[in-house]
Amino acid sequence: MDWENEKVSGDYIVIKAEENGVNIIGLTRGRDTKFHHTEKLDKGEILIAQFTENTSAIKIRGKARVLSRHGEILSGE
């Protein structure tokens, strides 16, 4: 992996569902942003996600705790 790609692909986030039915949606990178992957988490389940050359954004619907190198964020409140 080259340095430019590593900067894009290096970040991971941890998502912990705080309620049943939390939706995680991966969005593509490029001219047209599209959904490319979805997951549904139940309370207590954890997903570790990585930004890649294809994934530019992650959308979270529902109450979840998100941990990243930037700190902790609570969604759905």
Q: At residue 55, does pLDDT exceed 80?
A: no
Domain that holds residue 8: 3-75
Top pLDDT among 40 and 2 is at 40
The mean predicted confidence, pLDDT, of the chain is 85
Q: Is the pLDDT of residue 2 over 60?
A: no
- We report the CATH number of the domain holding residue 53 as 2.60.40.50
Nearest Cα to Cα of residue 26 among 62, 4, 51: 51
Specify the number of domains making up the chain: 1
* 1 band by pLDDT with thresholds 50, 70 and 90: very low
Predicted pLDDT of residue 6: 52
Model confidence at 63: pLDDT above 80 = yes
Give the residue from 57, 58, 59 showing the smallest Cα distance to 29: 57
Instruction: For strands 46-50 and 71-75, give the pairing.
Output: unpaired
Distance of alpha carbon 4 from alpha carbon 26, whole angstroms: 21
**CA dist 75 to 5, 9, 30, 40, 60, Å?**
28, 23, 26, 15, 7
Mean pLDDT, range 41-64, rounded to an integer: 90
Q: What is the pTM of this model?
A: 0.78
